[in-house]
Structure formats: C-alpha cells, structure tokens
Chains A and B, each alone.
Chain A
Amino acid sequence: MDLQKKTLIVLVTFLILAVALTGLFVTVILLSNYQSLEKEYMTNDVMRTVSQLKNDERTLSAIASDWAPWDDTYDFVSGNRPEYIERNINPDAFANLHLSFMVITNRSGGVVYAGTYDPSTRTIVPVSPALLQDIVPESPLLDQSDPRGETTGILMLPEGPALVTSHPIVRTDFSGTPQGVVIMGQYLGSSEIQRLSSRMSSSVEIQKIAQSDLTPAELAGLTAVPSVPPLVIRPVSDNTVAGYALLWDIYGNPVLTLRITEPRDLYRQGTSTIFQFIMILLLTEMLFGFVMIFFLDRFVLSRINTLSSQVRRIGTGSDWAARVKLEDSDELTDLARDINLMLTEIEKTNADLLSSEARFRELAEETSDVLLTLDTKGTAIYVSPAINRYGYLSEDVISQDFVRFVHPGDRTRVIQEFHREIEECTPIVLPFRLVDKWGYIHWIEAKISVRMDVFGKPTGITGVLRDFTDRRQAEDAIVLANRKLNLLNNITRHDILNTITALLGCVDMANATKVPAEREELLKEIKELTRIIQRQIEFTREYQSVGVNAPTWQNLREILNRAIINFAGSGITISKDIENTEIYADPLLEKVFYNLIDNAIRYGEHITTIRFYYQVSDVGLTLICEDDGVGIPEKDKESIFERGVGKNTGMGLFLTREILSITGITIREMGKAGAGARFEMLIPNGAFRFIKDRKDEPKEG
C-alpha cells in the first residue's frame, strides 16, 4: 500500500473518530443539560400548579372567613335569625362564589343548613349523604378550638374530590364562644381542572392514587416526606414530559396525584441543535481533511512518489550513473541530494565490485581445479567451468544433487563425510571417484570447508576439486607392482623351491632304489615335477603382464569371440547372450574367459554346453559363465581361486581373479555341485556401459 493511500485512510479514520467522539461527547453533555433544564421547567410548572390549587384553597377559605365570623351567622346558629338562609343563601350566591356546597353546623356539630349547588339547573339541592358522614364530632371540619382557626384541604367524596374549608362561627369581631362551623366546598371536577389547565397553559390531570400511572417506587418516594412534597418528573415519550405531585386530604392522607404533561419542546430543540452542531462539525472536518490531503499530497506525498519511482527505476535498471531530480527547495530536495550522493558511492562501489568479481571470476574460470559450492542438502549451487573437462556444462550440474556424479562405490562414504563436515565444520580432504559424462572414472581430491551465515549456522560447503587420476594410477601401479613382486618372489622362492625339494628327494630315492619299476615310477615323477617348475616359470611370465598395461574399455562380445574361437574343435556348445556392452578391465580380459572355458572343459567331465549372459542390478552388471558339467563341491568354492589349488597348474582361477580385480571386478562360484559350475563376475557401476552401434576405441579415463 502506498503512502498516499495510507495517509488517506489514516486521515479519514481520524476524522470519523473525531466527529464520532465529539458528537458523542456533545450529545451526552448537551442532552443531559437540556434534560436537566426540561426537568427544572417542569418542576416549576408542577409547583406553580400546586400553588394555584393552594391559591384556590385560600380563596375558598377567604370566602368562608367572611361567612363564619359574622354576627348574622352567629345569630342564625344561635336560633335568633331564622331569615338568615332565605336572605343570604341562594343559587346566585353559590354561583358567584364558585361554591359547590355549603354546610352550617351548630356548636355540637348538628347540621343546621346544608345545600349543594347544581350548576346545570342553577338550583340548590340537598348535599350528598357522604359529605354529611364526614361531619362528625371527631372530624377536623368541626374543630372550634380557635375562633380564628380554620381547616382547609381536600376531601375525597364519592362524587369526586373537593376543596373544603371550615371556619368556627363567632361574632364579627371574633368574640363569643364559637357556635358551630361554616363548611364550604368546591368540587375539583373537569371544569375546575380545565380552568386550571387554561391558567397554567399545561395539561393538568388529577388522579386518585390507586389509578395513578406512577410506579410503586415513585409513589413511595413522593409519600416519604409529607411536609415537603417531592415531585416526579419523567418523559413519557419523545414528545411529552410529565410531572407529578402528591395532594393530601384534610386528614393528612395522600389521596390524589396531580399530573401535568407538556410537550418536550426544549428537549427537541436540544436534539435539533446537537444534530446541527454535528453536521457543521462533520462538514468542517471534511473540508479541513480535503484541504489537508490536497496540500499534503501536493507538497509531500506526490513528491515522495516521484522520488521513489526514480530510485526504483535506478535500482531496477542498475543504472547507477543516473540521478534523481526534485523541484523546489525543502527537506525533500535535501533528501534527493543525499540519495544522489549515495548513488555516487554505490556507482563507485559497484564499479569496484564488478572489477573485483571479474578478477575472481577469471581466476575461478581459468583454474584447472573445479570450484564447487553445495547447499546443506548437497545440491550444487555453483560449479566453475572447469567441470567441462568431464563432459558437463555448469548448467548440467547446478541444482543437481552432486552425489549423482560420484562413483556409486564411493557415494555412501562421500555422503557420510559431507554430513560429518557440516556437523563438525572442520576442513577435510576427501578423495573419491567421479564418473564423467562418457562413463570414465576420474580420481578426485576434494578440499572441503563449510560456509556459514552471519549467525554461524552452516549454509553449505565450498570445495576445490583436483583431479589426481594420474597420480592415483601411478600409486595403483606401484601397489600392483609390489603385490606382483611379492607374489613372484613367493613363486620363485617358495613354490619352485618346494618343487625342487620334491624333485631332489625323488632323485635321491631313484638313486637309492634297486627296484627297476620303482625307479621308473620315480623318474616319471621327476619329469612331472620338472614340468611343474616349467609351468610355474611360465605363469610368472603371464602374471608379470597383469596390470602392466592400463585398463581399457573392451567390447564384451568381441573379447568373448576371441576367447571362444580357441575351443572351436572341442565339440562343446558355447553360447553368449550379450548386448553390445563394454567393460572397463585389464587388457588380459580375454585370458579370463579363456581360463573359464578351459577349466569348464578340463574338469566338467560330461560337459556339453557353456553359456555366457549377464544380469543388471543396483550394484552393477553381473556377467555369468554357466556350464552343465559336474560343478564345484561346496567346500572348494572359495579355495579354487587360491594359488596352487587345482588339478592342472592351480594358477588359472587365481590368475583370473587377479586380472579382474585390477578394475574392481569380483568373481565367485555360485553353481550347484553335480548340476554344473556357475561363475558370477560382478562389474560395478561405472565400470560397464551399454553402447549402441558405436564401436569406440578403448579410452583412458
């Protein structure tokens, strides 16, 4: 993701978060304030409504205070002014004073007048019996203890709640013993409530507590402190808020709830204001963001992009001579100048590096040794062109498991040494045989050291491969010469001396005997012993030639043909099932096949067939010589290859094994006694090859 996209994402995210957090903060704070304000207003309105009710109570009380401390009333209750009712109490008086009912009692509480105003008929009718039930001696309405006292409040009647007031009846100057009470009442009916609503500009309702929509908890809160009536203010919907206050009757019991509801204008105004504020904030921040992105892009990001693309182009094209360019003069142009300084250094270092690499590459490519780098799995990473002398291109070897180019007989050892080297990290010299593209074997001496990374962890090996085939062949020749010298020494000093010992003994015995037949037998034996000495000397000549000439690639069919032709008149069928194959062997290979056929014919007794064929396996090619003669007894299967064992010279199979061993070919007898002999010659991988119709001359490795 480029810097422009990252900046844009960060900025937009920041703006969204800023608007969201600011909006949330403002909403919580302002809305809370608006709600508090709304509650305060509602509290005032509820208190004003309650106060208005109190005013009504006071007005009613004031009316009663005109009637109770009055001499006419006093006299009427005392029984002196019977016309009092007719002259003072009539429907107009009720209507003018907004009274619903009026009751006058005497001193003992007996009702001397009771009337209720029916506004529908504008007549005075009898009061309800329920009202009279509240006018009993223990009722506070009949309290006459204080001539100036009064009892005012709400009285719950079956027909509805009513404001009532009671004043003692005394003289106008408040003298005299109270002769009773004047009770006046005003029903809080729908018209009164409607009138109250009009005056308060709110919707006012009065409910009985049992019918109130307050919760029990709210109700309990309201009744907790009767002297200071608390209020409940709560929104009933998004558009309406309600305020509640409790009303108490003259007995001090909570009997009514006053409920006023008002539209939530203030709250709605608040939410509207918040929304407008957030929108303004959002638009402002968006504008700010766009402006900032525009200038950031113009002055920083696009210029960094320009600089980055120039640097990338230089890096991709390895054009270290190129330089970056940037307009204006600020920190970025300073950066461009620093980059150009760095490019100058890189250009110089790169030139030095190329020069150094060219020198080392020339050195690596010109050396006759093969330089090799392997990873920890043995896969070739680099090989110098000197590998071409073995018929491979560097590309043929690189990315290949290098051990596949190693002679099969050395692979296990090479792999073990490779892993040991990786573990122990000590430089080693490892000799092994390398098979070239044409199948030739080369002796290689590898000087190996471990490559490590900066943490000291092995990353592979580096090796210098030096061909020492010539030296190895010379060493082999010396070993062979020594072995042959010892053997020839043994033959001359041991075998021939042995035979001479026997020969001299036989001569002495012949001289000593006087029996002609015995002497003749001894002379025959002397002759035979002399021939043995002759054959031993002839063998030394044959054996002397083993290993004298270097091994060559020899066509198996041609060599067999040359050996077989010597036995053309033997009457034995000699077959060969051999592909066009070459094996790498001593030039005396023909002598091997000659000896095998000669032995088979000489000791096979009833032999009729000799067959040559081969089998291929993982370890190499097994060439088999099989006959149908008497075979070899189990106990003689190994000893027949020893020198001096056998019915003729005892040298044939010994010489055969010696010739084959020159190039690592082994021979063993695996036939079944009585069913024929079976000689198996194992030619290891790398020492044989199948050819098509090509007849190459034998080559040296």
Chain B
Amino acid sequence: MADRSILLVEDDDVIAKVAQWRLNNLGYQVCGRAVSGAEAMELVVKHKPDLVLMDINIKGEIDGIETAKMIKKGFNIPVIYVTSHSEGETLKRARETKPDGFIVKPFDDNDLRVAIGLVLK
C-alpha cells in the first residue's frame, strides 16, 4: 500500500497537515499538496498520482470541481472530493462530474480508509 501515491488538494494549511498525517498513518504516500487548481494540474503532470483527494473550495480561478473534471478527462486519475457541503448546488455540480468518492468534513481515519480503499482496491 505504501507504493500508492495520493495528491492532496487543500488550501487550508491545518487541514492539509491533518490529512497528510492521517494518510501517512493509513500507509499512503502523499506525493504533493496543491492549494489551487493550477498548482494541482502541475503536480498531477509531475507525479502522476494514483488518487487525488480534492477539496471543492480552493484558491484560484477554478474550484475543485472544475479541476477534478480536467484531471479525470486528461489523466484518468480517480478523484475523491473532500467537502463540508452535504447538499445544495455545489454538491449537485460535483456529482455531475461522476467522482470516485465523497468524503464529508469532518472526517477521521476510517472515513479516509474506506473511501480510498474502495477506489484503489
């Protein structure tokens, strides 16, 4: 499992630190962290991760949903959304991109393990 790399897209430093700590504990390698859509695309090209953990509300011109669309279309890399939205227009938009999974904030190790495990099994 340690050979599976995950790209973390999260603009909040504390949440990014916590997510990275949890992923490491679960045995995944965090190949990089991006705070915007543009940065995420650069790191995807660079590291070719096995999975992208994508926050929907990120910095920059394009949000997490638009970034996920480009990653899935260009690189066919699975994307799991991490969001605090459990309903509404944002979630509807996210669902239209046919994501590989949803993790709702606040999350713990188990939430991550189940969601990532389903995608990477």
Interface size on A, residues (CB 8 A): 17
Within 8 A of B (CB), among A493-537: 493-495, 497-498, 500-506, 508-509, 512, 525, 529
A509–B12 Cα distance when bound, in Å, is 17
Q: What's the least CB distance linking B31 to chain A, in Å?
A: 20
Within 8 A of B (CB), among A7-52: none
Q: Would you call B108 and A502 a contact (CB within 8 A)? A: no
Q: Would you call B105 and A500 a contact (CB within 8 A)? A: yes
> B89-120 interface mask toward A, CB cutoff 8 Å, 1 = contact, 0 = none?
00000000000000001111100000000000
A-B contact count (CB 8 A): 49
Q: What's the least CB distance linking A195 to chain B, in Å?
A: 144
* Interface range, B side: 10 to 19
User: Is chain A's binding surface mostly helix, strand, loop or mixed?
Assistant: helix
Q: Is B14 part of the binding interface, using a Cβ–Cβ cutoff of 8 Å?
A: yes
- Pick the contact of B105: A497, A506, A512 (CB < 8 A): A497
A502–B20 Cα distance when bound, in Å, is 11
Residue of A502, A504, A509, A529 with most chain B CB atoms under a 10 A cut-off: A502
Given contacts A493-B86, A498-B12, contact A505 B105 (CB under 8 A): no
Q: Would you call A505 and B19 a contact (CB within 8 A)? A: yes
Q: What's the least CB distance linking A159 to chain B, in Å?
A: 144
Q: Which residues of B contact A495 (CB under 8 A)?
A: 84
Given contacts A493-B84, A494-B85, contact A501 B106 (CB under 8 A): yes
Q: Would you call B57 and A501 a contact (CB within 8 A)? A: no
Within 8 A of B (CB), among A468-510: 493-495, 497-498, 500-506, 508-509
Q: Which residues of A contact B12 (CB under 8 A)?
A: 498, 502
A505–B109 Cα distance when bound, in Å, is 9
Q: Which residues of A contact B25 (CB under 8 A)?
A: 512
Residue of B17, B18, B86, B109 with most chain A CB atoms under a 10 A cut-off: B18
A501–B84 Cα distance when bound, in Å, is 9
Q: Is B22 part of the binding interface, using a Cβ–Cβ cutoff of 8 Å?
A: yes
Given contacts A493-B86, A497-B105, A508-B108, contact A502 B57 (CB under 8 A): no
A373–B21 Cα distance when bound, in Å, is 75
Q: Would you call A506 and B18 a contact (CB within 8 A)? A: yes
Q: Would you call A501 and B85 a contact (CB within 8 A)? A: no
> B75-93 interface mask toward A, CB cutoff 8 Å, 1 = contact, 0 = none?
0000000001110000000
- Pick the contact of A494: B14, B19, B84, B108 (CB < 8 A): B84
Q: Which residues of A contact B38 (CB under 8 A)?
A: none
Within 8 A of B (CB), among A257-309: none
Q: Would you call B18 and A502 a contact (CB within 8 A)? A: yes
Q: Is B45 part of the binding interface, using a Cβ–Cβ cutoff of 8 Å?
A: no
Residue positions of B touching A, CB distance < 8 A: 12, 14-15, 17-19, 21-22, 25, 57, 84-86, 105-109
A–B pairs, 19, beta carbons within 8 Å: A493-B86, A495-B84, A497-B106, A498-B84, A501-B15, A501-B106, A502-B12, A503-B106, A505-B14, A505-B17, A505-B21, A508-B18, A508-B22, A508-B108, A508-B109, A509-B21, A512-B25, A525-B14, A529-B14
Given A497-B106, A498-B105, A504-B18, 18 other A-B residues pairs in contact with their CB atoms under 8 A: A493-B85, A494-B57, A494-B84, A497-B105, A500-B105, A500-B106, A501-B15, A501-B105, A501-B106, A502-B12, A503-B106, A504-B106, A505-B17, A505-B19, A506-B14, A508-B21, A508-B108, A508-B109
